């Protein structure tokens, strides 16, 4: 399978596959496909698989795109401004923010990752349940804004603004810590908590979490009071 990512702000990934190859995608993600592709909507993983996807920000149903000709092409589009990134899943599972999944090859299993640390679930910015991908193959992920990759050595820590964690390898530990200093906490603009990622492993940090983008846009929307006047 070959792929090309088109665009920058609102990208689209175009996949080219041979007969017998397939991918599955989140319902509604497909932008176009040629006549060599057949769609099949299903509840991948049965009822429990559907529940896992729903609680992690995905759709209950997925769609298989199977190549029935010598060659098939299908394209999937980003939901909001950001990047489409491809990850090769192998020995180490990948943990992603909610609603990150776009599409994957059949041998990649879409699971959930539960934050067992109470504080991380409440204040880490990603919630208690994240998306987890394991198995062998490729998965295409949606990131908010631009994305920066950092490789952490064993015991190395990086402190990240809440909501800015796009993805990390399962070997990385995620926790939270309180911002030190009263003025830093209440006047520094970073909030009360920071997310701490501890290596070993790779982490991917996003520049514009969608919840922050919504908050910025909402400042310029007319309020009901202004409309009534």
**Mean pLDDT on 60-74:** 94
Closest among 125, 118, 83, 89 to 106, alpha carbons compared: 89
Q: Express each pLDDT in 80-100 by its tens digit.
A: 889 999 999 998 999 999 889
Rounded percentage of the chain residues whose pLDDT exceeds 70: 82
Q: How confident is the model at residue 119 (pLDDT cuts 50, 70, 90)?
A: very low
Which range (40-49, 100-109, 123-132) has the least confidence?
123-132
Burial (CB count within 10 angstroms: exposed 0-12, middle 13-18, buried 19+), residue 55: middle
CATH class of 2-222: alpha beta
CA gap 121, 168 in Å, rounded: 16
**Confidence grade of residue 56 (pLDDT, cut at 50, 70, 90):** confident
∠ CA(127), CA(155), CA(196), 5° rounding?
25
Residue 186 has pLDDT above 50, yes or no: no
Task: Considering only residues 53 and 109, tell me which one the structure prediction assigns the higher pLDDT.
Answer: 109
194 has a pLDDT exceeding 50: yes
Question: For position 122, what pLDDT does the model report?
Answer: 45
Q: What is the pLDDT of residue 213?
A: 66
Model pTM? 0.82
- pLDDT above 50 (res 125): no
Closest Cα to residue 11, out of 75, 100, 93, 88?
75
**Predicted confidence (pLDDT) at residue 126 exceeds the cutoff of 60:** no
d(CA 109, CA 26): 13
180 pLDDT band, cuts 50/70/90, is low
**pLDDT, mean over the chain:** 84
For residue 212, is pLDDT > 80?
no
Alpha helices in 15-79 (DSSP H): 46-55
Answer whether residue 190 shows pLDDT above 80.
Answer: no
Predicted pLDDT of residue 222? 81
Average pLDDT on 20-44 reads 94
Place of tokens 């029935």: 68
Instruction: Tell me the mean pLDDT in the region 209-225.
Output: 69
Give the pLDDT score at 209: 74
Cα–Cα distance measured from residue 162 to residue 124, given in angstroms and rounded to the nearest whole number: 6
- Domain boundaries, given as residue ranges, for the chain: 2-222
The Cα–Cα gap between 207 and 199 comes to: 21
């Amino acid at each position: 399978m070959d792929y090309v990512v088109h665009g920058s702000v609102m990208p689209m990934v175009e996949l080219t596959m041979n007969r017998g190859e397939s991918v599955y995608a989140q319902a509604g993600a497909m932008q176009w496909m040629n006549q060599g592709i057949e769609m099949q909507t299903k509840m991948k993983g049965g009822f429990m698989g559907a529940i896992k996807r729903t609680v992690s920000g995905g759709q209950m149903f997925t769609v298989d795109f199977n190549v029935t000709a010598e060659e098939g092409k299908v394209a999937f589009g980003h939901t909001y401004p950001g990047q489409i990134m491809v990850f090769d899943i192998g020995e180490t599972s990948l943990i992603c923010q909610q609603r990150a999944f776009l599409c994957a090859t059949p041998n990649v299993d879409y699971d959930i990752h539960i934050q067992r640390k109470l504080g991380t679930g409440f204040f880490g910015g990603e919630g208690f349940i994240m998306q987890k991908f394991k198995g062998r193959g490729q998965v295409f992920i949606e990131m908010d804004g631009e994305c920066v990759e950092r490789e952490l050595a064993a015991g190395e820590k990086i402190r990240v603004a809440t909501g800015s964690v796009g993805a990390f390898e399962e070997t990385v530990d995620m926790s939270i810590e309180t911002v030190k200093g009263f003025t830093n906490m209440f006047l520094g603009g970073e909030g009360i908590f920071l997310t701490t990622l501890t290596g070993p492993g790779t982490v991917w940090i996003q520049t514009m979490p969608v919840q922050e983008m919504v908050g910025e846009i909402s400042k310029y929307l007319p309020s009901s009071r202004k409309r009534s006047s």
